[in-house]
Structure 1
Amino acid sequence: MKEIKPLMAINILCVSSMMAFLAVVGPIVRELNLQEWHAGLMVALAGVAWVLLSRFWGKKSDYYGRKTILIFSIFGFFLSYLFLAGYTNYAIINPPSVIISLIALVFARVMIGVFYSAIPPVSNALIADKVEPSKRTSYMASLGAANGIGMIIGPIIGGVLAVYGLTAPLYVATILPLIAVVIIYFSLEPSKKREETKEKAIHFLDKRLRLPMIASFFTMYSIVTSQVCLGFYILDKFHLTQVQTAKSTGYILAVIGVVFILTQIVVSKLKNISSHTWLILGSIFCAIGYFLVSIITTQIQLTIAFSIGTAGLGMLMPAFLAITANSVQEHEQGVAAGTVSAAQGLGIIIGPLLSTILYEIKPEIPFIFSATTFLVLTIISLSYKKKEAIRC
């Protein structure tokens, strides 16, 4: 598949852009006199946009072509991020009222969610278009490795550039999606357009997609919980300054990004292991990792615990994406990918709202709850694998 390299490049750029903001969101929230639940609200409403539009983008890419939708959505992502950087810079220099800052930041995050929600399902559908079923897990893992690289670059941007001001990482990150648009325009061939039909689209609760939807929901719920709570957890656990917290958050996210990439590489190479097996192993690793996060006492221990959980995520994500692609027919790939992506968006909605509420009770509770969800996923995955074995 010759499109895999440019596809990986645009995902690296866009994930880097997203992660750069997450590395400084805690300090920015505190700087603008907002509260922790405000950060949760921003991410949650972006998740609403993700849920509502993932299926829409996937279905439109089935008919108008993957390249067209990617160019349109990533350019919109660039414009939204530019507004976020510009307003944050203004608000730090000339602090407005809390309500104005909240409205502006929520608007920016929602628009980012609107346009970013197209990138995962359309990228996954493009792989499904070009790759035979037996090799999809490997290619999904390669795309996951690209996301992992973005998880490294983004926090480095956020952590290193934070010394020049909390908005410096945002301005640098704004440029990245614009570069992605150029890469798409010159590197991807126009996708074949299909005629719209009256055939009924995949139902949101289609039984073929229940397992990957459950897995994607739990996975994104826990990822967002980590992203929203990590900065506050470091601030409150180790009593660092805002700049030190931004650096520490960035470096920890960078380390786990390396772990995520290495795990994805392993998954892509071990082609004889089934997607369902990776799903089970990933769930176990995640449960262990998130539980350990709740009992750490040093930053090194925190990094190790998150690394264990991230290794599990590296197994989970290509597994449920491959299960999705292999569960539907060719003309359903876009909407199927969008449906599972919408489940991820649901995790983005519930994750920050619930985790910030739990955090106010006790900082460790959100991570214990995440560990519990992965124990549940382990049981569900084992049940599905047993059913598959009986059918065979």
Structure 2
Amino acid sequence: MKEIKPLMLITILCVSSMMAFLAVVGPIIRKLGLQEWHAGVMVALAGVAWIFLSRFWGKKSDIHGRKNILLLAIFGFFISYLLLAIFVNYAVVTVPLVIVSLLVLMTTRLLIGVFYSAVPPVSNALIADKVAPEKRTSYMASLGASNGLGMILGPVLGGTLASFGLATPLYVAAILPLIAVFIVFFFLEKDKKIEKTKDTPLRFFDKRLRLPMIASFITMFSIVTSQVCLGFFILDKFQMGEIEAAKVTGYILAIIGVVFIATQIIVSKLKNVKSITWLILGSIFATIGYFLIGIISTQVELTLAFCIGIIGLGMIMPAFMAITSNSVEANEQGVAAGTVSSAQGFGIIVGPLLSTILYKISPEAPFFFASLIFAILVIISLLYKRKGILC
């Protein structure tokens, strides 16, 4: 598939843009006189958009073409981000009423989520259109590695540019999707003419998508749990000060980010391994890794445990995306990718809520719970594999 490199670059640009906001949201909140929970709401809005609109965008791409929808969505992403940057640029100089700041920030952030929610499912559907079923896991892994790289570069970009003003990272982050628009326009092939077919809508809980939806939800739930709880866990487990804990959290996140990318690259090179095998193997690694997090006693052990868990996630993510595309017909690829993507959005919302409740019971509880649900995923995946063999 000759379009995989442009698609990888588009993913890096869009994910970096999304993640850059996280580096400056705290200072912006404080500067404009808002409260911490307002930041949580803004971040959660992306998950809400993901749930309700991924399936919509996927279906539209089945009808109107992948390239057309990507152009529309990424351009809308650019405009929304630009509006956010312009407002922050104005607000840090002339601080408006709190209610005005809250409404504008929430609206622009929601719009960013609305348009970004098209990128993952349509990109996955495009791969499904162009790649044979047995090779899809490999290409999905390449896209996953790009996603991981964007998740690392975005916060680094935002944090570095913040020294030039809080609006500067947002202006630069707005330019990234604009570059992606040009890449889509010039480097992705024109959509083939869409043939009219009898509309038989794929149901949200279609039995063909149950396994990838479960895997998608559990994976994103665990990622968000790690992001939310790691800093608190380090503070409480090692009795550190805030500054030292922030440094340790940063280097652990950087290390596991590199491990995540490396795992996806390895998966992309091993083209003959079946998707269900990657899903089972990844679930086993994640089960072990998250369990070990709950019983560690040193920082090195914590880092190693997270690395084991993240190796599992690096195997699981391309696997469930490939299983999704291999489970449906050609005219259902977009809506299927969107449906499974919406399960990730649900994980983004449930993750912070449930993990913080569990953390109050015990700092280890969120990680033991993640280990438990991955163990359940191992069992479910083995049952699906057995069913496939029997069939």
TM-score of the superposed pair, with normalisation by structure 2: 0.88
1:261 equivalenced with 2:253 (yes/no) = no
Aligned-residue offset at 1:176 = 1.2
Residue identity matched to 1:254: A
1:378 equivalenced with 2:378 (yes/no) = yes
Residue pair 1:23, 1:250 contacting (<8 A) in 2 also:
no
Partner of 1:336: 336
Aligned-residue offset at 1:256 = 2.2
Partner of 1:70: 70
Residue pair 1:44, 1:350 contacting (<8 A) in 2 also:
no
- Give per-residue Cα distances to partners, 1:291-344, cap 9 Å, x unaligned: 444555666555433322221111001100111111111111111111111111
The separation in 2 between residues aligned to 1:141 and 1:41, in whole angstroms, is: 31
Q: Aligned pair in 2 of structure 1 residues 376, 100: CA closer, same or farther (>3 Å)?
A: farther
1:134 equivalenced with 2:124 (yes/no) = no
- Give per-residue Cα distances to partners, 1:173-217, cap 9 Å, x unaligned: 222111111111111111123244442111111111110011011
Range that drifts further, 68-77 or 284-293: 284-293
The separation in 2 between residues aligned to 1:31 and 1:364, in whole angstroms, is: 34
Residue identity matched to 2:69: I
Residue pair 2:134, 2:274 contacting (<8 A) in 1 also:
no
Residue pair 1:51, 1:341 contacting (<8 A) in 2 also:
yes
Partner of 1:148: 148
SS in structure 2 at match of 1:201 = coil
SS in structure 1 at match of 2:328 = coil
Residue identity matched to 2:190: P
Partner of 2:79: 79
The separation in 1 between residues aligned to 2:30 and 2:358, in whole angstroms, is: 19
Partner of 2:218: 218
Aligned-residue offset at 1:127 = 0.6
Residue identity matched to 1:239: G
Q: Aligned pair in 2 of structure 1 residues 31, 74: CA closer, same or farther (>3 Å)?
A: same
Aligned-residue offset at 1:228 = 4.0
Range that drifts further, 25-34 or 352-361: 25-34
Residue identity matched to 1:315: M
Aligned-residue offset at 1:383 = 1.9
Q: Aligned pair in 2 of structure 1 residues 16, 172: CA closer, same or farther (>3 Å)?
A: same
SS in structure 2 at match of 1:272 = coil
Q: Name stretches of at least 5 consecutive residues in structure 1 with no aligned partner.
A: none
Range that drifts further, 357-366 or 152-161: 357-366
1:106 equivalenced with 2:94 (yes/no) = no
Residue identity matched to 1:327: S
Partner of 1:239: 241
SS in structure 2 at match of 1:271 = coil
Q: Aligned pair in 2 of structure 1 residues 112, 308: CA closer, same or farther (>3 Å)?
A: farther
The separation in 2 between residues aligned to 1:88 and 1:234, in whole angstroms, is: 32
The separation in 2 between residues aligned to 1:80 and 1:234, in whole angstroms, is: 36
TM-score of the superposed pair, with normalisation by structure 1: 0.88
Q: CA RMSD in A?
A: 2.9
Range that drifts further, 286-295 or 371-380: 286-295
- Calculate percent identity across the aligned residue pairs: 70
SS in structure 2 at match of 1:173 = helix
Q: Aligned pair in 2 of structure 1 residues 29, 308: CA closer, same or farther (>3 Å)?
A: farther
Residue pair 1:155, 1:253 contacting (<8 A) in 2 also:
no
Aligned residues: 389
Partner of 2:202: 202
- Give per-residue Cα distances to partners, 1:245-293, cap 9 Å, x unaligned: 4x76555433322111210111122233221111112112223333444
Q: Name stretches of at least 5 consecutive residues in structure 2 with no aligned partner.
A: none
Partner of 2:274: 274
- Give per-residue Cα distances to partners, 1:92-135, cap 9 Å, x unaligned: 55555655444333323321211111101110111111111111
